[in-house]
Amino acid sequence: MSNQFIKKNINLSLAFDRYLFRNPALFMKIPNKSTLVFTIKGDKSFNRSSKFLIESARVPKSKIVEIQKQGSKWEILSSVVG
């Protein structure tokens, strides 16, 4: 993964943490012991890389949850049990 991808992923993680702090109800929708994959609405290249990375690192029977940034909001798009 490129440095740009890594920095973007770290920034998304920090932004999502701040968003959860202000919107705790969203936190309750995330299954325990799940792995989050961050995507950005409209950023196909970043999203493809994020999904590839999470699939290559998948732990059997783990829950993978896609969290998408849509402007200033976040949405839980999917939860997949492997």
For the chain, what are the domain ranges? 3-81
Percentage above 90 pLDDT, the chain: 49
Q: How many CA atoms lie within 13 A of 41 on its CB side?
A: 10
* Assigned fold of 3-81: Trna Endonuclease; Chain: A, domain 1 (3.40.1350)
Q: What is the mean pLDDT of residues 25-46?
A: 89
pLDDT class of 80 with cuts at 50, 70, 90 = low
Q: Hey, what amino acid is at 78?
A: S
User: What value does the mean pLDDT of the chain take?
Assistant: 87
With b for 16 or more beta-carbon neighbours within 10 A and e for fewer, the 45-81 pattern comes to: ebbebbeeebeeeeeeebbbbbbbbeeeebeeeeeee
Q: How many CA atoms lie within 13 A of 72 on its CB side?
A: 2
What predicted TM-score, i.e. pTM, was given to this entire model? 0.82
Q: What is the mean pLDDT of residues 61-68?
A: 86
